[in-house]
A and B are shown apart, each in its own frame.
Chain A
Amino acid sequence: SYELTQPPSVSVSPGQTARITCSGDALPKQYAYWYQQKPGQAPVLVIYKDSERPSGIPERFSGSSSGTTVTLTISGVQAEDEADYYCQSADSSGTLWVFGGGTKLTVL
C-alpha cells in the first residue's frame, strides 16, 4: 500500500520559520494537500495543489514540491499555529487516497 512519511514533530520559537516535510514515491506525479488540525477540532485545508492557498488562510502558510518531497512552510510562526499538520495525496493511479502520519507543530 502507498504511504506518505512525515516527521512526528517539529518545534520552533515564535516568529521563526517552520518547515514540515512529506515524502512519497508518487508525489512527482500527484499533487499534495495540507490540513491543519487543532485539538478537538476537525481538520482545515491550508494548502492545495502543492502550493495554492485557500481564501482565508494567512499568507505565512506556503507549500512547495521537489521530487518525492513536498514541504509546508509557515513563516513567522505564531502561537495559534500550534497544531497537527497532515499531508494528503493519492497513489500513482490517482484512485487511492492517503494521509501522512501527521506532524505535531510545537511553538516553544
Chain B
Amino acid sequence: QVTLKESGPVLVKPTETLTLTCTVSGFSLSNARMGVSWIRQPPGKALEWLAHIFSNDEKSYSTSLKSRLTISKDTSKSQVVLTMTNMDPVDTATYYCARILKDGDCCTWFDPWGQGTLVTVSS
C-alpha cells in the first residue's frame, strides 16, 4: 500500500522559513517512473502546484514561487523535503505531497496524495 505523510510546523511567523517533510512508504524514491510533488491549497481556494522531484534529481518549481522554494530528497530515509522562505500570511494553506506516476515522456499525474498538513502563518 502506497502512503505519503506530511509533517512540519502548524504555525510559522511571517518572514520565517517553512520546512515540510513528506515521508513515503510502499514505493521507492529511486524508482525511475515515480517522483514526489508538493501542492498547496489555501482555505476555501483552489489547488496550487509548487514543486516536484524525480529519482534522477530532476526538479521543477512553480514560476511564481521559484525564488522561495527548494525541494530535495533523501532516498535512504524515503523522505522529500520542501523549504519555503520568507513566509507570509497569504501562504497559509494545507500543504499536500503526492506521488507522481510517470508514463514515458508525455504523461505524469498525482496518485495518491497525503492527508495534508495545515500551516498557518501568523505573528
Give the CA-CA distance A100 to B48 in the complex, in Å: 9
CA distance A90 to B64 in the complex (A): 15
**A100 touching B46, Cβ below 8 Å:** yes
Complex CA gap A12/B106 in Å reads 34
What is the size, in residues, of chain A's interface with B at 8 Å between Cβ atoms? Answer: 25
Size category, B interface: 20 to 34
Interface residue from B63, B96, B111, B113 paired with A96 (Cβ < 8 Å): B63
B109 contact from A1, A45, A95, A96, Cβ within 8 A? A45
15 contacts between A and B (CB under 8 A): A31-B106, A33-B110, A43-B113, A48-B111, A49-B103, A86-B47, A88-B47, A88-B49, A88-B109, A90-B108, A97-B52, A99-B48, A100-B46, A102-B46, A102-B47
Nearest 9 Cβ contacts at the A-B interface: A42-B113, A45-B111, A99-B47, A33-B109, A97-B49, A102-B46, A48-B109, A101-B46, A31-B107
Residues of A within 8 A of B (CB): 1, 30-31, 33, 35, 37, 42-45, 48-49, 54, 86, 88, 90, 94-102
